[in-house]
Amino acid sequence: MVGIKATNGVVVAGEKRLGYGHFILSRKAKKVYLLDNRIAIGAAWLYADSQALTALVETVKRRHELIAKSKLSVKGIVKLVSRILYSNKLIPYMTELIIAGVDENGPQLYVLDALGGVSEEKYAAVGSGSTTAIGLIEDSYRDDLSVEKAVELTVESIKVAVKRDALSGDGIDVVVITTDKAWEEYYPL
């Protein structure tokens, strides 16, 4: 899972392979979710926990919007997820998350650990191939990166990680969010 903050948006991407030990369970796993046209969540580690947590966040987000009649900010979603993770610290969701989005405060990217620890970053990589992917990102990242270049760097970093990580592969799902719109793309390997 990789996330990159650009000058005019954010990019979050993940590969599609779902492995368990030395067994490939699926080649079509979805690990990046577009919550709405402003916020994306990318999740690594245990797939079931990632799915359950994402569904819970979507439900709580919708409930807030119905009651408060206002949208949560990107940082608001991050705080919500952090509190959910921390409140479950005795039996934690075994997941690492990248939450990114664009709101009135501009592009933002956060990394959350399984216990709710939060770090705001310009770029991040989590999951089994993260140590390989982050090397390429650190070497190529610039503060003036456009969304188009961020997509290229994100895809390339995952391709590099897939070459070295047997638990990763089978295509790349990319979510792009700019100030104007949000969309999903698929890149075959």
Q: Is 147 exposed, middle or buried (CB count within 10 Å of its CB: 0-12, 13-18, 19+)?
A: buried
| Domain membership of residue 6 as a residue range | 2-187
- pLDDT for 114-143, tens place per residue? 999 999 999 999 998 999 999 999 999 999
The stretch 99-127 carries a mean pLDDT of 97
**SS3 for 6?**
strand
> How many domains in the chain?
1
pLDDT at 34: 95
pLDDT at 66: 95
Q: What is the pTM of this model?
A: 0.95
DSSP state of 71: P
The enclosing domain of 123 has a CATH number of: 3.60.20.10
